[in-house]
Amino acid sequence: MANLNAAFNMSQLAKLARSDNPQKRDQLFLALGSLCALEPTEQSAEGSAFNEIMFLLNDDAAENIRQQAANMLCEKSWAPRKLILQWANDAIPVANPILLKSPVLTEDDLINVIGNASLFHRLAIADRPHILEGVTNALSSFSEPEVLVAMAGNATAKMTINTFASCVRVSRRHGQLRLFLSNRDDLPRSLIPSLFAYSNTQEREIIATKFGVDVDKFSDVVRQAVLEQTSAEQELQLDTEELKIAQLVHKLAKAEQLNPASVIKAVALENILLFEHSLAQLSGVPIDQFRLAVKRSPSTAIALACQAAGIERSVFPSLHRNLTELTYLNEALSGDVGAKAAKAFSGHSSAAATVALRLMAQNT
């Protein structure tokens, strides 16, 4: 530890820490931070007291003072853990350097911050070098486009196929996210068709070149997803009430206000048209294909759509029960029906569920 006896003794430090002058306490805090940044504190009573005084001073330090101290210690592996954890959950100017750089933070620490702090804290963690799969999975669970863009653009971030699938699903409405995903060498090849389907012509050329995609060898379903646009003719076939609902769902989706809760709420309101259009939109399948798939295998199709839309598996049984009560479904969720519905969740990523739903409609 930096030789405190050369500058202060512990009694002097304690006396200064109790000063009624905020400026003096802030000056002391920064002085201690500078000393701490020089070399590790010893595992001694003196070192423990030193760290404890810093921690106590931190409570009353001004935000700009805490920020300066955090910048001093953010890259030090010997920085006081108790103080680092407090800074990690502090206001973002203080937390940012800690979340980006501190080697003191463990994977569990980062996951706790992700779950309890703000969007801006998650953005900082998404930019952190070499974050592991547990961290990226926690980040993706919020489906925040800004965070997913930062994470996908972080070439050192490790991601599971489910995390990638979540990114691909959200990329339907975010060109920058699609661009970053297409630039990643570790993008699972099973997700390339879905990313391709959501991309514009220029983006598709980039994907085709990078991954050696031959569009002519794609299945009919994938080619249809790539080329498909919601046609004006299809809208004209809807009656006035349904057209209004379709336009509402499209508007909500464009404003990023359509989410799994929208589907649950539509069922609670006993509005089947709103339910169908909301779930079809979120699952990335046109309404006519969604209905064809439900006609062929009702429970499995709804389960696939829920998986594609990001609706939790635990929610599905109650959703199925409510749809049965509304006579939208007429089969019990048991036996072979229940097994197939369960496999729709366990056997597919969200992107793969979209493709499976399209295949089901095509085979009707």
Convert the pLDDT of each residue in 146-189 to its tens digit: 999 999 999 999 999 989 988 998 898 888 999 999 999 999 98
Residue 174: its pLDDT value, please? 87
Q: For residues 26 and 37, is the Cβ–Cβ distance under 8 A?
A: no
Q: Where are the domains of the chain?
A: 4-103, 127-227, 232-362
Convert the pLDDT of each residue in 277-335 to its tens digit: 999 999 988 888 899 999 999 999 999 999 999 999 999 999 999 999 999 999 888 88
Q: For residues 320 and 299, is the Cβ–Cβ distance under 8 A?
A: yes
- Asked if residue 136 has pLDDT above 80, the reply is yes
Provide the total of helices (H) and of strands (E) in the chain, helices listed first: 24, 0
Query: Does the global pTM surpass 0.75?
Result: no
- Asked if residue 55 has pLDDT above 80, the reply is yes
Rg over CA atoms, the chain: 27
Which letter does DSSP use for residue 173 in this model? G
Structure tokens at 346: 């366990």
- Average of pLDDT values for 209-230? 59
What's the gap between Cα 146 and its chain centre? 9
Coil/strand/helix, residue 351: helix
Residue 127: its pLDDT value, please? 95
Q: For residues 220 and 362, is the Cβ–Cβ distance under 8 A?
A: yes
Residue 14: its pLDDT value, please? 58
- Residue 57 confidence class, pLDDT cut points 50, 70, 90: confident
Residue 77: its pLDDT value, please? 92
Output the average pLDDT for the chain.
Answer: 83
Residue 1: its pLDDT value, please? 44
Q: For residues 256 and 173, is the Cβ–Cβ distance under 8 A?
A: yes
Alpha-carbon span 48 to 40, nearest angstrom: 12
**Higher-confidence position of 20 and 229:** 20
- Residue 214 confidence class, pLDDT cut points 50, 70, 90: low
Q: Give ∠ CA 308-313-319 in degrees, rounded to 5.
A: 90
Closest CA to 156 of 126, 190, 182, 179: 126
Coil/strand/helix, residue 327: coil
